[in-house]
Every structure is written in C-alpha cells, then in structure tokens.
Amino acid sequence: LSGGRYQETDNAYVQAARVAISTSVTGRIVEIHVSENQRVKAGDVLFTLDKANPQADLAQNEAALASAKARVSGLQAEYRGKLLGVSAAQERLQYAQSELTRTRELGAEGIASKQQVESAEHAVQQAHADLSAARQAASAALASLGGDPSVSVDDHPAVTEAAARLERARLALSYTEVIAPESGTVTKVEQVQVGTFVNAGQTLFWLVSGSPWIEANFKESQIAHMREGQTATVKIDALGDMELHARVKSFSPGTGAVFATLPAQNATGNWVKVVQRVPVRFELVDPPESVRLTAGLSAHVQVDTQSSDASGR
C-alpha cells in the first residue's frame, strides 16, 4: 500500500562506479600487472609503459635546469663586476675633475699652459663618457637579471621555467606506471596486450568500484514518507534469502523518464497517465566481507519509513 509503513520494490539493482583506466602520456605497454576480473587496491600498479623516452626527457631537463642556474649565477657575477666598473669610473671622473680644477688654477697663475688645461678638460669629458658606458653596461646586466639585483638563483624566471619543465618531465615519467585510482575489480583487461601503443586519454579497460550501492526505482506514490537516513533491508536475488542492511542515501532530482535517452512526449491528444518511478540510492551498512556484489544484480528493497531519520528531516 502506498501509505503503509514499509515501502518495497523489486525494481532495484546493484550499482557500482566504473572508472575508465587510461594513461596520461603516450607510449608503448611493456608490462601488464593484472589479469581479467582481478581485485586490486588503490595504488596498485596496473600496467607499465616504456620509460626510455621519458627518462631521456628527464635527463635533458635536469641538464637544462643546471645550465640555467649556472647562467644566472654568471649573470649575477657579471652584474657585480659592472657595478665595480661604475664605481671605478666615478672615481676616475672625480680625479679628472679635481685635476682640471688644479690645472686651471695653475693656468691662471701662468704656470700651466693652455694645452695642459685643454688636455685636463678632455680627460674630464672622457671620464664622463666612460662613466656613462659603465652605467649602460650595468643596466644591461641588471635587465638580464629581470630588473631585480637581489633575486636568488632559484627565483630567476629562467630557472623557474626550467624547473617547471623538469617537474613536467618527472610527472611524465611517473605516468608510465598506471595505478589503480581506487579499490575494485578490473575488467576487459584481455583487450590490452604487451607491445600495444596507446595514446594519452585512451580508455584501455575498466575498474569497477569495490563500494557498490543499491538503486531502487520506487513509484512516485511510495516516496511521500521516505526520507534520507531511513533504514532498509535488501535482498539480492543471487544471494537467496540473505538480508543486507542499508539506509536511504539520496533521491534522484528527476524521475527515470526524465533522464531517459528518449524522454516521453506527453503533449499529445492520446495521452495516457503512467505512474512514474523515482530512483532512490541506498548505501549498504556493514555488508559481510564474504559477500561479493556484482553490478547489475537484481535486488528487492524494503524501506521502514518510521525508522530513525539521520538527516533530521
């Protein structure tokens, strides 16, 4: 009855998440570590790709990073040298200016000749030019450091870029070992062979999650008093009379017809009312470890609508 305490349905099935197993890099399979229908744990290696090219790329990028660090260290040393050049040019200019002042004074007393004064003036002009060139050289060296003379070698843009390329190379090498993202059972493994060349993102086989749930399709007239958190008993056809404990996890936001590949069209003159069904998800509560549930198995679900409501609704 639609208004009874217990609501039940035989329109229920075991469901489990399916994870497509693929690679993040392109390569050739050199070893397969699992077999068809084998149970695996999260982190187990499923298969391995040829490591030769990724290892070569890693070595190349390690060398590139070392070269970038050496180049930046050289630029820093060059900049310090240019600064010393600026200081030396400033000292030469000060000396030339003082010599010019002294020579002019001697010239005014008739001790220094006009030629000596002109020579001192030329020395000052040359010292100005030398200082300007030294400053330009220092500015160029500073620009090569990204404009920040205090930047550390590791923080220089050229080094951080090389470090990023090295990290990508390390990741590419790690991706040659494809691991299980979660615990479950692998299937369709037989369609993959050693020596097969695979592309990044290509689905090779599947991993069925080891945490199944029950999806039961209740009539719309049955769910009025059903709430998240209510307890339920589940019988799997394949397990005979064994009862499993479960609780209501969630309700679908739409009926099964709404999410059908070809939704029903009711805007016709010959419309016939059909009772809709709402998918309800149940999580199993402490199922026995000896029970192995296969996705797609038929089930019978009975919900106690007067049981404790964990959601507080």
CATH 3.10.129.10 is the classification of domain 18-50+176-209: no
Looking at the domain that runs over 6-16+212-304, which CATH code has it been given?
2.40.30.170
- Alpha helices by DSSP H, 175-249: none
| 3-class DSSP state of 13 | strand
CA distances from 46 to 39, 52, 168 (A): 11, 19, 22
pTM score of the predicted model: 0.69
Domain boundaries along the sequence of the chain = 6-16+212-304, 18-50+176-209, 54-170
In the predicted model, residues of the chain with pLDDT beneath 70 are 1-3, 260-271, 308-313
| Residue of 140, 139, 141 whose CA lies nearest to 78 | 141
Q: What distance in Å separates the CA atoms of residue 306 and residue 138, rounded to the nearest whole number?
A: 83
| 3-class DSSP state of 247 | strand
Q: Supply 170's token pair.
A: 């390390």
pLDDT at 3: 60
Which class does domain 54-170 fall in? mainly alpha
pLDDT at 275: 87
Q: What distance in Å separates the CA atoms of residue 205 and residue 256, rounded to the nearest whole number?
A: 28
Task: Tell me the pLDDT of the chain averaged across its residues.
Answer: 91
pLDDT in tens, 121-147: 999 999 999 999 999 999 998 888 888
